[in-house]
Amino acid sequence: MVKRISLSLVVLALVAGCSSGVKLNDVPVEDKSATSTAGAGAGSGAGAGGSTQSGVTPVDIGASGANAAGPANVARIIYFDFDSYSIKPEFQSLIEAHSRFLKANPNRKVVIEGHTDERGGREYNLALGQRRSEAVRRSMGLLGVTDNQVEAVSFGKEKPAAQGSDEAAMAQNRRAEVSYR
């Protein structure tokens, strides 16, 4: 004897936040199509079917601030060799000029931003960029700049100065920038 599979006409009002299905063969015969939008939970709604279960509310961030001015006519970028955070001698005078400025202006603050080229993982490169910015901060400290005027951060490989995978571009990206805030 063939057991009839009875499928009934069913309209179900969903419980708020829960859309687990209902087993087909367990469903009683009911037609609530005229009243399904009344008294329903938050998971369903009137009109075009109501709100979904997986909504995301977007957050939009506006433009970031601009830098403040530092000492005039002084370069702000120190470049590094591959896999290195040693400050090369040709950048010593740049660091001395910024250090003089900061000692003369004790209320000014500077952020040293460390960067890497594009090779390697993002978080590990963040840490490598941090080594570069901290090397610059240490040099400034040795020249007498007070510690609370200088913050060392890293952008890792997230803000390249030059696009491209050739050595010239990568050399431009291995850097620390002196950023007056």
Partner 1 sequence: MLVALAGTSALPALAQFRVEVTGVGLTQLPIVIAPFRGEAQSPQKIAAIVQADLERSGQFRPVDAAGAVLDETSRPDMGVWRQKSADALVTGSVNRLADGRFDVRFRLWDVVKAQDLGGQSYVVPQGDLRLAAHRIADFIYEKLTGEKGVFSTRIAYVTRSGGRHTLWVADADGENAQAALASPEPIISPAWSPTGTQLAYVSFESRKPVVYVHDVSSGRRRLVANFRGSNSAPAWAPDGRTLAVTLSRDGGSQLYTIDANGGEPRRLVQSSSIDTEPAFSRDGKSIYFVSDRGGAPQIYRVGVGGGNPERVTFNGSYNISPAPSPDGRWLAYVSRVGGAFKLQVMELASGNVTSLTDTGSDESPSFAPNSRLIVYATQLQGREALMTTTLDGKIKARLAGKGGDIREPDWGPFQAQ
Measured distance CA(138)–CA(143) in Å, rounded: 9
Q: Side-chain half-sphere of 139: how many Cα atoms within 13 Å? A: 24
Sign of the torsion angle spanned by Cα atoms 121, 122, 126, 129: positive
Number of residues that bind partner 1 (CB under 8 A): 68
Rank residues 16 and 93 by Cβ distance to partner 1 and give the closer one: 16
- Residue 112 and residue 152 in contact, taking contact as beta carbons nearer than 8 Å: yes
User: 94-113: which residues touch partner 1 (CB under 8 A)?
Assistant: 111, 113
Token representation of residue 165: 């995978």
Rank residues 14 and 97 by Cβ distance to partner 1 and give the closer one: 14
Rank residues 13 and 171 by Cβ distance to partner 1 and give the closer one: 13
User: 125-144: which residues touch partner 1 (CB under 8 A)?
Assistant: 126-128, 130-131, 134
**What residues contact 159, with CB distance under 8 A and at least 6 apart?**
113, 115
Q: Does 86 bind partner 1 (CB under 8 A)?
A: no
Give the footprint of partner 1 on this chain (CB under 8 A): 1-3, 5, 7, 10-14, 18-25, 27, 33-34, 36-37, 44-65, 111, 113, 120-124, 126-128, 130-131, 134, 151-156, 158-159, 179, 181
